[in-house]
Amino acid sequence: FILLFVGVFSSCKEKEEPVNGEVNVIISGIELLEPSKFPSSRISADNTWEHEYEPKLSLTFLASSGEKFNLDINPNNFTSPFSISLPKGNYELTGSSSITDSFSLLPLRIKQNLTVNTSDQKIQLTATSDAGLFTITNKNLGNSAPQLFISNQKLKLKGKFYYFYSNSGAGQKVKIPLSDGSSSFNFDWEPKPFTHRHLGLDNPNDPSDIESFIQDDFLLDQNQLLISEKGIPTNLSPKIQSELPISQNENSGLAFIQNRLFSINDGGNTNDIFELNPNTGAVIRTIRVSNATNSDWEDLAQSDTHLFIGDFGNNNGTRKDLAIYKISIASLLTLDEVTGEKINFTYSDQTDFSGNGGKHNFDCEAFFFASNQLHLFTKNRVDQKTNHYTLNPNQTSGTAILTSGFDIKGLVTAASIDQLGNICLLGYEDAGLASRSFIWLFSKYSGIAFFSGKSNRIFLGSPSLLSQTEGLIFDQEGQVIITGEQISLSGFTVPAKLSKIDLRGLF
């Protein structure tokens, strides 16, 4: 009997140590982040987002003795609190959601320390998540729901907001239909844990359009896009890919040939073409144009067989040696030194070469190839417009013929056309520190009357963020690559940068 008693006593002691008795632990609720840690930046906001969680949250209570206790709960409903009987002691409480629909339900993770020492002890779970939240106000949109660009999965509608959750690191592109019934735009979102990205399309003449959130549990990132009378966003932000290397500090033109990106620098630099990594901007290769001089190279254009270098920068308006170099693409892709055929030209309507102290309309930094012609777009320093000229590329000397003009309301620095005939003109306002970079979009025109169809201007942001935007080209997917040259603003330097923006659906 004594041996039996000692054995039982030892066994019980080993199992229960270091606990003393059972305690009913009641789980009364769940909280994400302490709201006071993230005070609202918009006190007037009247919307608070209420999350719906994955319905099964599996909890594990790990005692300091190594013993484990498990409990499954539904974090959406604490009408009847969940409870579990635990021995007294210290625990590590962990848990994770069973993922069934992470697109519209927020998955949770639990990790907290717990001391159990009181009968009917109430606790709250402190949860985190790897997911971020995207919402967009259901106003000034088209009749269909926004959807993910790749999967075509439609966003869920809750109240007056479309929404979805996504894990961090899984970059998302949201296709957003616009109220004109034919246009859409693609919005890039980089999800971050515990971050709520809210987007609204706002008519500047209707203050009731603005819907904002009170910052509660998720860190709030609100983005209001203004729309024009046509229902098109007037401001979109390119995604900055990287800073460019020092050799590209004065980059001025881009070409995209067989999925390869090429650039040049403007006047006073070497007579080199650079092949760049399209994602990082790193220099892969340098190609010397042996028989050319970089008087003021400003843009690149391309046909199926040739690359064209526009040596037509004309800041002072006095140049009589405007030229374009024509280079074989086959040579460009394979050789480190190439030669170019030179096309000398003049403008059909320029008779005064005095330059008028720099106030003239015969500077040019933008052109492309289409319909067997070169199309030049001037940087008018007098009237902030652009003039469209055509030039025959199959000659050694010719005249650029004026065809039309457009009130661009700024200075044009690059041009590009895609395979569908959609046109982008890149530029910036001539307003000093208040300047903004912009893109004009042209489509649905007749023949080569590029300004006769649909047109929209979209502001891209300040040169203090993007650098001075000088180069632009469509890539193989129809997205637009933008480069900017290094500039100095009020004592600080903005490095040259490579950016991308998706304008598909807006043409």
- pLDDT digit string, tens, across residues 145-200: 999 999 999 999 999 999 999 998 888 999 999 999 899 999 999 999 989 999 99
Query: How does DSSP assign 413-471, residue by residue?
Result: EEEEE-TT--EEEEEE-S-GGG--EEEEEEES-BTTBGGGSEEEEEEEE-HHHH-EEEE
Q: Is residue 278 part of a domain?
A: yes
Please report, for the domain that includes residue 94, its CATH number: 2.60.40.1120
DSSP secondary structure code for residue 379 in this structure:
-
Q: What CA–CA distance (Å, rounded) separates 381 from 386?
A: 9
pLDDT of residue 205: 84
Q: What CA–CA distance (Å, rounded) separates 464 from 493?
A: 9
**Whether residue 359 sits in one domain with residue 299:** yes
Q: Is residue 204 part of a domain?
A: yes
Q: Is residue 382 part of a domain?
A: yes
Q: Which amino acid is at 465?
A: L
Q: Is residue 8 part of a domain?
A: no
Q: Is residue 416 part of a domain?
A: yes
Q: Is residue 381 part of a domain?
A: yes
Q: For tokens 């007579």, name the residue.
A: 271
DSSP secondary structure code for residue 263 in this structure:
E
pLDDT of residue 2: 36
CA dihedral 288, 294, 300, 301 (to 10 degrees): -90
Residue-wise pLDDT for 303-360, tens only, equals 999 999 999 999 999 999 999 999 999 999 999 999 999 999 999 999 999 999 999 9
Please report, for the domain that includes residue 279, its CATH number: 2.120.10.80
**Whether residue 77 sits in one domain with residue 147:** no
**Phi and psi at residue 428, to the nearest 5°:** -150, 155
Domain C-terminal end among 128, 151, 183: 128
Q: How confident is the model at residue 22 (pLDDT cuts 50, 70, 90)?
A: confident
**Whether residue 423 sits in one domain with residue 283:** yes
pLDDT of residue 207: 75
Q: For tokens 């971020």, name the residue.
A: 132
Closest of 22, 17, 36 to residue 119, by C-alpha? 22
Range of the domain at 64: 15-128
Tokens of 457: 């201007």
Residue-wise pLDDT for 24-80, tens only, equals 999 999 988 655 565 544 445 679 899 999 999 999 999 999 999 999 999 999 999
**Phi and psi at residue 331, to the nearest 5°:** -70, -40
Residue-wise pLDDT for 405-421, tens only, equals 999 999 999 999 999 99
**Phi and psi at residue 329, to the nearest 5°:** -65, -35
**Whether residue 250 sits in one domain with residue 203:** no
pLDDT of residue 283: 98
Residues 6 or more apart whose CB falls under 8 angstroms from that of 184 comprise: 142, 175, 176, 177, 178, 505, 506
Percent of the chain predicted with pLDDT > 70:
93
**Whether residue 70 sits in one domain with residue 137:** no
Angle at CA 370, nearest 5°, toward 368 and 372? 120
**Whether residue 288 sits in one domain with residue 197:** no
Q: Is residue 6 part of a domain?
A: no
DSSP secondary structure code for residue 244 in this structure:
P
**Whether residue 306 sits in one domain with residue 266:** yes
Helix (H, G, I), strand (E, B) or coil at 6: helix
**Whether residue 437 sits in one domain with residue 356:** yes
Domain C-terminal end among 100, 128, 156: 128
pLDDT of residue 6: 35
Q: Looking at per-residue confidence, does 205 or 291 come out higher?
A: 291
Query: Would you tell me how many other CB atoms lie within 10 Å of the CB of residue 385?
Result: 16
Angle at CA 331, nearest 5°, toward 328 and 334? 150
**Whether residue 145 sits in one domain with residue 104:** no
Closest of 103, 79, 84 to residue 95, by C-alpha? 84
Q: Is residue 393 part of a domain?
A: yes
Average pLDDT value for residue range 483-504? 94
Helix (H, G, I), strand (E, B) or coil at 36: helix
**Whether residue 107 sits in one domain with residue 139:** no
Domain C-terminal end among 86, 109, 128: 128
Beginning with the edge strand found earlier in the chain, give each strand of the sheet holding 283-289 in spatial order: 251-257, 260-265, 272-276, 283-289, 337-338
Beginning with the edge strand found earlier in the chain, give each strand of the sheet holding 156-158 in spatial order: 156-158, 161-167, 131-137, 195-202, 219-226
Q: Looking at per-residue confidence, does 113 or 33 come out higher?
A: 113
Q: How confident is the model at residue 19 (pLDDT cuts 50, 70, 90)?
A: very low
Asked whether the beta carbons of 323 and 311 are under 8 A apart, the reply is yes
**Whether residue 144 sits in one domain with residue 167:** yes
pLDDT of residue 235: 95
- Structural domain count of the chain: 3
**Whether residue 258 sits in one domain with residue 138:** no
Average pLDDT value for residue range 230-235? 94
Please report, for the domain that includes residue 149, its CATH number: 2.60.40
Instruction: Provide long-range contacts, Cβ within 8 A and 24+ apart, for 281-284.
Output: 281/241, 281/242, 281/243, 281/244, 281/245, 281/248, 281/483, 281/498, 282/245, 283/245, 283/247, 283/248
